[in-house]
Structure 1
Amino acid sequence: MQIIQHVVVKQVLTEKSKQQLFDKYHARKRQFEKECDQLQFELKRLEKSKNYPQGTLKKHFEKEIEMRREKIKLLDFQIEQLHILPIGSELKEKEVQALIEVKAGDLWIDQDLQPEIIIKDGIIEEIRR
């Protein structure tokens, strides 16, 4: 019989992976900033056209802009935390599901102990059970 089990994927922080995370966070931050600028531009353009109710339009755009600003704040926090983390730290990257084969007579492993896959610079370094 096969069962599905959650497996945590952790990344060991190295100089290379730390730089990649910085680059990824900065790229996402730039993207959100670009989206904010684009939304502000669209709001001004639509306000000039006067085809839409001004109050509703402005509220909708301000909500979208604020959501992106919150994401920018979160990215700033993540960048700040990444500066603090020492090389060799393990970061939870994601959670995946794996099919596990079980049969009568197998030792039942406590479900509180999730297996982990440890990755270092994109290569699986260890599988912990």
Structure 2
Amino acid sequence: MEIIQKVVVKQVLTETSKHELIEYYNEQKRQIEQECDQLHFEQKKMERKSKFQPERVADYFTHELEIRREKKKLIQFQMEQLEVLELGSEIRERELETIIDIQVGDKWDKSIFDKTIVVKNGIIVEIR
């Protein structure tokens, strides 16, 4: 019988991976800033149209901009945490699902479900 199992992928922090993560976070921040600029543009456009209530337009865009400000704060926090981490630290990168085959008589314990893949500079170095 086959079942679906979750597998954690961890990345070992190296100079290369640290640089890549910083670039990724900077790109995310740029994307959010572009979204904010677009939202400001859309807000002004909608305010000029008389068929929308100005208060509702302002409330909607204020809410959307606040969501993006929070995302930006989170990214900034992650970047600060990245600076504090020592090289060689393991960072949880993502969680994947995999299919495992189980049979009658297999040992049913934590080890069958607690799987982790460790990646260093894009190469799998360990499967736990």
On whether the aligned pair clears a TM of 0.5, the verdict is yes
Q: Distance in 2 between matches of 1:95 and 1:74?
A: 20
TM-score by length of 2: 0.93
Residues 53 and 16 (structure 1), Cα distance of their counterparts in 2 relative to 1, 3 Å cut: same
Cα drift, residue 112 of structure 1: 8.8
Q: Percent identity?
A: 48
Residue equivalent to 1:75: 75
1:45 aligns with 2:45: yes
Gaps spanning 5+ residues in structure 1: where?
none
Q: Structure 1: how far apart are the matches of 2:67 and 2:125?
A: 38
TM-score w.r.t. the length of structure 1 is 0.92
Q: Deviations over 1:34-68 (max 9, x none)?
A: 11111112211221232311111111111111100
CA–CA separation in structure 1 for the residues paired with 2:55 and 2:122: 49
What is the aligned residue count?
128
CA distance in 2: counterparts of 1:113 and 1:102, whole angstroms: 11
Gapped regions of structure 2 (runs ≥ 5): none
**Contact residue 13 and residue 87 of structure 2 kept, 8 A:** yes
- 2: distance between equivalents of 1:38 and 1:110? 48
Find runs of 4+ consecutive structure 1 residues off by over 3 angstroms.
none
